Amino acid sequence: MSDAEEEEPRPNLSPRGKGKQKPPEEGAKYTGRCLKFNNNSITNLQSLTEFAKVKFANWQEIAWLDLSHNELTKIGPVGVFIPK
């Protein structure tokens, strides 16, 4: 999870036909509502909430969390991270 703090997310295509979204300026936070950590080697979610707080302007608004195809053996209560 700590490796992700150093990485920039891939630009995504807007589903509403607005083209690619611009990345935020240095130090700015993302306004997205989706966090995709699929296809990695994540073994635990200890720092997931802290990561979301650092990278997202409104981390409580995250509506989609993709953790598929990782090495998780337990995730704990889902509501701990996803308040909605």
Ranges of each domain in the chain: 1-11+30-84
Question: What is the model's pTM?
Answer: 0.68
Q: Is residue 39's pLDDT more than 90?
A: yes
Q: Is residue 29's pLDDT more than 60?
A: yes
Span 26-42, mean pLDDT?
87
Contact 51, 1 (CB under 8 A): yes
Contact 51, 59 (CB under 8 A): no
Q: Is residue 22's pLDDT more than 90?
A: no
- Count the neighbouring beta carbons within 10 Å of the beta carbon of residue 48: 20
**Is residue 80 very low, low, confident or very high in pLDDT (cuts 50, 70, 90)?**
low
Residue ranges of alpha helices (H) inside the chain are: 48-55
Residues paired with 13 in a beta bridge? 20
**Is residue 47 very low, low, confident or very high in pLDDT (cuts 50, 70, 90)?**
confident
